[in-house]
Amino acid sequence: MIFDEIIHGTQYYRSPTPLPNEWEGDIANMSDFNIDALQIRINWRNNERREGEYDFSDVDRVMELAEKYNRKVVVKFLLECAPQYVFDKYGGTRIGPRGEQLRGAYHGAFYGGWRPCFTNPMVQERASLFVEKVAERYAGRKNIILWNAWNEIRNRPMEDCFCLHCRKAFGKYLENKFGSIEKMNDFYGATEESFENVNLPASAHGYWDIYEFKKFKGGVELYNWLRFVYEAIRKYDKTTPIMSHVGFTSAFQSSISDVCDDYTVSKAVDFWGTSVPCDSSMDTHEKRLDFLMLNDFLRSVDENYFIHEIYPGLGMFKWYDTTFDLRFKLYGGLASGAKGLIYWQYRAERVGHENDCAGIMRMDGSPREVAFEAKDFGGYLHDNMQYFKNSKAKKGDVAIVFDFDSMLLSEIEDSCGVDYDFSHYGPQYYYRFAHAGMYRLLRNENYNVEYVGVTHPEKFKDYKVLYFPYYTMLDTKIVPYLQAFMENGGIVIADEGFGMRTLNTWMQPYDIDCKPLMTARLRERRLMHGEALEVNGEKIRISPYKSEYVVDGGETEMSFLDGTPAVQSVKVGKGKLYLFGFSIGHTYFNTQSKALAAFMNGVLNDVGVEKYAFADSGKGIYEKRLENEKQEIIFLFNNTDEEQQFDLKSEILSIGGDGKADKNIFYVKEKSMAYAVINKA
Dump pLDDT digits (tens) for 578-629: 999 999 999 999 999 999 999 999 999 999 999 999 999 999 999 999 999 9
Structural element, H or E, at residue 298: helix 285-301
List, in sequence order, every residue forming a beta bridge with 539; answer none if it has no partner. 534
How far is 108 from 623, CA to CA, in rounded Å? Answer: 37
Give the per-residue pLDDT at 470: 96
CA 350, distance to chain mean position in Å, is 28
Contact 323, 367 (CB under 8 A): no
Share of the chain above pLDDT 90, in %: 90
β pairing state of 672-679 and 631-638: antiparallel
For residues 434 and 114, the model is more confident at 434
Q: Give the pLDDT confidence of 382-422 residue by residue, as tens digits.
A: 999 999 999 999 999 999 999 999 999 999 999 888 788 88
Give the per-residue pLDDT at 44: 97
Q: What is the pTM of this model?
A: 0.97
Mean pLDDT of the chain: 95
Q: Give the pLDDT confidence of 138-176 residue by residue, as tens digits.
A: 999 999 999 999 999 999 888 889 999 999 999 999 999
Q: Where are the domains of the chain?
A: 7-80+117-157+230-389, 398-606, 621-679
Average pLDDT over residues 436-459: 98
Contact 247, 153 (CB under 8 A): yes
Give the per-residue pLDDT at 577: 98
Give the per-residue pLDDT at 342: 97
Look at residue 110 and tell me whether its pLDDT is greater than 80. no
Model confidence at 108, pLDDT cuts 50, 70, 90, reads: confident
How far is 220 from 166, CA to CA, in rounded Å? Answer: 12
How far is 516 from 654, CA to CA, in rounded Å? Answer: 52
Give the per-residue pLDDT at 388: 95
Give the per-residue pLDDT at 177: 98
Cis peptide bond N-terminal to 201, omega within 30: no
Spell 624-651 as b/e; 16+ CB within 10 A means b. bbbbbeebbbbbbbbbeeeebebebebe
How far is 549 from 522, CA to CA, in rounded Å? Answer: 5
Which class for 291: exposed (0-12), middle (13-18), buried (19 or more C-beta within 10 A)?
buried
How far is 643 from 242, CA to CA, in rounded Å? Answer: 43
Contact 584, 495 (CB under 8 A): yes
Structural element, H or E, at residue 273: strand 271-275
Look at residue 220 and tell me whether its pLDDT is greater than 80. yes
Give the per-residue pLDDT at 424: 83
CATH number of 398-606: 3.40.50.880
Give the per-residue pLDDT at 113: 81
How far is 584 from 437, CA to CA, in rounded Å? Answer: 8
Phi, psi dihedrals of residue 567, rounded to the nearest 5°: -140, 130
Look at residue 109 and tell me whether its pLDDT is greater than 80. no
When the candidates are 3.40.50.1820, 3.20.20.70, 3.30.70.870, 2.60.40.1180, the CATH number that belongs to 621-679 is: 2.60.40.1180
Phi, psi dihedrals of residue 74, rounded to the nearest 5°: -105, 125
Give the per-residue pLDDT at 224: 98
Residues ≥6 apart with Cβ < 8 Å to 602: none
Residues ≥6 apart with Cβ < 8 Å to 246: 152, 153, 154, 260, 262, 265, 272, 273, 274, 275
How far is 32 from 537, CA to CA, in rounded Å? Answer: 59
Look at residue 631 and tell me whether its pLDDT is greater than 90. yes
CATH class of 7-80+117-157+230-389: alpha beta
155 DSSP 8-state letter: B
Look at residue 104 and tell me whether its pLDDT is greater than 90. no
CA 645, distance to chain mean position in Å, is 34
Amino acid at residue number 249: T
Q: Give the pLDDT confidence of 492-518 residue by residue, as tens digits.
A: 999 999 999 999 999 999 999 999 999
Q: Residue 127 to residues 21, 122, 222, 227, 584: CA-CA distances in angstroms? A: 30, 8, 15, 12, 47
How far is 430 from 543, CA to CA, in rounded Å? Answer: 9
